[in-house]
Amino acid sequence: MPESAVEMQLAAILGQHLRELRKDKGLSQERVALAAGISTNYYQLLEAGLRTRKPRTPANPTLMVLVALGQVLETPLPAILDEVLIRNAS
């Protein structure tokens, strides 16, 4: 089943926002992944907006992964999600 354009767009926006937050904190992908308890590969995929390395598979992280990333990036989950929705509406 092909993924919708909206899913792809939201996943890409989330990935871009995570990348910006990470870079603003001066952290590597490896450091964020380790601190969040996920693999570096998985975090790299999230920043790319992907679930797998296959094209058109949008990222769909669990709530617990998003909470952990928010803690590592010192950004509350609601702020992360608000930014994604604001950017999506633009």
Per-residue tens of pLDDT for the chain, all 90 residues: 346 899 999 999 999 999 999 999 999 999 999 999 999 999 999 999 999 988 789 999 999 999 999 999 999 999 999 999 999 998
Contacts 24+ apart (CB under 8 A), 38-44: 38/65, 38/68
Give the residue among 20, 3, 2 at the shortest CA–CA distance from 87. Answer: 20
Alpha-carbon distance 12 to 25, whole Å? 20
Alpha-carbon distance 28 to 82, whole Å? 24
